[in-house]
Structure formats: C-alpha cells, structure tokens
Amino acid sequence: MIFEQIATGGCQSYLVGCADTCAAALIDPEQSQVDRYLALAARESLRIRYLVDTHTHADHFSGTRELARRLEVPVVMHRASPAPFVDMRLDDGEMLAFGKLRLRVMYTPGHTRDSMCLVAEDRVFTGDTLLIGGTGRTDLPTGDPAALHASLFERLLKLDPALEVYPAHDYKGQGHTTIGRELAGNPRLQKSGRAEFVEMMRNLNLSMPTHLTEALRTNMSGGKTVAQLLAEAAATVPFMSLEELKARVESGESDLIVLDVRERDAYEDAHIPGARLLPRGQLELRVNQDLPDPTPRILAYCEFGRISTLAAATLREMGYQRAVALDGGMKAWREAGFPTKTGREA
C-alpha cells in the first residue's frame, strides 16, 4: 500500500494507493490543497480513481467536487449524504475496490448522519467519528450523540485493537493512533454507558466552526466558495503593484485607464488621482457607454483588492484584453501614504 497523510491545519487527508496497479483513492481532500494532491499523486505515480468524503464537513471546504471535475472520477460518500453531486453512494458493508486494495465501509452515524469509517488492511479511516484523544462533536446539523455512542461502542471500537486509526482531524500533529490506545486513554471513551456519554456530549459547549455556513452550503450543494471564485478570477488576470501604479500615475501616463470599482461615496471620500468611477455592480451595464474602446490598458482597483480582481476578470471576459487588477487595494494605498484625491474628477 502506498500511503500519504496530508495535513492542512488540523484537517487530515489521505492518499491510499495500490503499489501493484498504481490505482488510488483520495480521502477527505481539502479545497485549498487540490494542486498538492495532484502533485503528490504524480510524484508517487498514482492515478486517483475515487474521491471520498467520510461525511459532510461543516468546518472546512471539501475538494472532492473540483477534483472530480478535473480528473473525471467519481465523488464517493455514504448513501445518507445530502449532496446532489455524489456519483457513488455506499452503504454499510460495501467496498471500494481499486487495484488490489479494498476500502470497506462501516456506517457510523453520530457526528453527522452520513458519517462512515473506511477499513483498509491494517488501518481504519475514521473521519470525525473517532479522533486522537477525542471524538467528533455531535452538536452540528444532523449530529446525534446517541447514534455516535452506538457507532463507537457497538461497532468501531469492537474492531481489532491493533488497527491503526487515521482521523479526519488532528490538531496536535500526532498523526495516528490505534483502536486499543484510544480505548485505554481517550477521555471521551471512558464513559461507556449510553446516558452518560450522551450527557457528556451535550455539555461540551464548543464554539461554532469559523466557516460553518459557507462550508455546509458549498459541501452540500457542490457550489463554489468565495475563495474559489476569487482564485479562479485571479488565475485569469495580471496584477500591478501599488508602487508601479503610483509611478505611472505620477508620470501622467495617459494610456492607462484607472478604474475605481467601489461605490460613489467611497470614491468621493478618497481615490487614486485620475481614477474614473465605475462601481462593480454596474460594470456590465455601463461598459459600452463608459469604455467604448476595448484596446487601452485598464487597471481596476477596489478597497481590498478582491472585488477588483473579479472586475478585471469580467472585463477580460467581455473583451478588454488588457484589463489588470491592482495587487492590493485603496486601503493599502492610503496606508502607504500614496497620493489621493477627494470629490469627483473633472
């Protein structure tokens, strides 16, 4: 077995490959690491055949959807997953077979209704059902402490104590554990009575994950995150530095159109000298009138440098092939002490 554990902050992803056939599965990939997984698979001479999410993640953005688009391989989840884009839905006791490897599904609801563990040879990928020194929480959507108790004590913890445990989260860099070690030392597993366990889980008072709403929206629908939209736009657009723009503004360069895509009040408060106002929200509707010539170089800027990236990408899509975005925004420009103007331009 070829095996790679990839940590993104506390999130753990796993690339599992068959050494004989080079077929592999990628478990719980994270959106921001898509290029890393592809590079890793290439380095190990592996062909990813399946993209597996152990459950609907509420705390980070799944990379399965984008990888599926790029690799044209199926997204795999448990049958209970609410995501419409899942290509292959697995049920308890079923297996994914790739090369000589087998990933066997053990349905373990509790952290979420669609949580599953995957057993492969000497190890088990536990998702958030069992963590190192902890368990997944049960207070997020579809969580159920009684179900988690049953999944743990009636199923997962009855597996061979020597089985290595690879969880979806590990915040302390411990890597992995074993069933036996967790049975002996995991504080959450010391109360094996169902009522006590449920009571303990109900009183953890954990804070909400940072991106809960966006993670659930995108992981359940297959839609894009804001970071993804920005990254896609940024990939199509060249940037200009604050210093470069300042030098060009000061030299009075006449063939550069500087476009402020913020709202009017922000523009009139302070803008880059010579900049024209064309708010992002009106861009498509006003370009014919405001930018009749598609050939000059256009630089878009906004307050932080994000909306201007989207604006420059839109302009390029519409045929303004020399549109660029400022690397940074008006905030950084002001903080650098660069010149500004107030009110309307003559």
Residue 144 in the binding site for Fe ion (CB under 5 A): no
Cβ closer to Fe ion: 60 or 271? Answer: 60
Nearest distance, CB of residue 111 and Fe ion, angstroms: 6
Region of 332 please: left (phi>0), alpha (psi -120 to 50) or beta. Answer: alpha
Cβ closer to Fe ion: 126 or 309? Answer: 126
CB-CB contact of 268 with 340 (8 Å) = no
Tokens of 202: 């109900």
Nearest distance, CB of residue 125 and Fe ion, angstroms: 13
Task: Write out the binding residues for Fe ion, residues 194-223 only, by CB under 5 A.
Answer: none
CA atoms of 283 and 280, how far apart (whole Å): 5
- Binder to Fe ion among 128, 170, 303, 327 (CB under 5 A)? 128
Burial readout 148-182 (b: 16 or more C-beta within 10 A, e: otherwise):
bbbbbbeebbeeeeebbbbbbbbeeeeebbbbebb
Choose the binding region for Fe ion from 9-17, 125-133, 220-228, 293-301 (rule: CB under 5 A): 125-133
Nearest distance, CB of residue 303 and Fe ion, angstroms: 34
Cβ closer to Fe ion: 176 or 276? Answer: 176
Strands 177-178, 239-241: pairing kind: unpaired
Bridge partner list, 125: 118, 166
Nearest residue to Fe ion, by Cβ distance, number only: 128
Choose the binding region for Fe ion from 128-136, 212-220, 228-236, 259-267 (rule: CB under 5 A): 128-136
The DSSP call for residue 87 is: S
Cβ closer to Fe ion: 128 or 170? Answer: 128
Residue 116 host element (H or E): strand 116-120
CB-CB contact of 73 with 135 (8 Å) = no
Nearest distance, CB of residue 53 and Fe ion, angstroms: 10
Nearest distance, CB of residue 149 and Fe ion, angstroms: 17
Nearest distance, CB of residue 253 and Fe ion, angstroms: 52
Strands 256-260, 297-301: pairing kind: parallel
Cβ closer to Fe ion: 52 or 287? Answer: 52
> Which residues have a Cβ under 8 Å from the Cβ of 295 and sit 6 or more positions away?
322
Nearest distance, CB of residue 141 and Fe ion, angstroms: 11
Residues lying near Fe ion in the complex (CB under 5 A) are found at 128
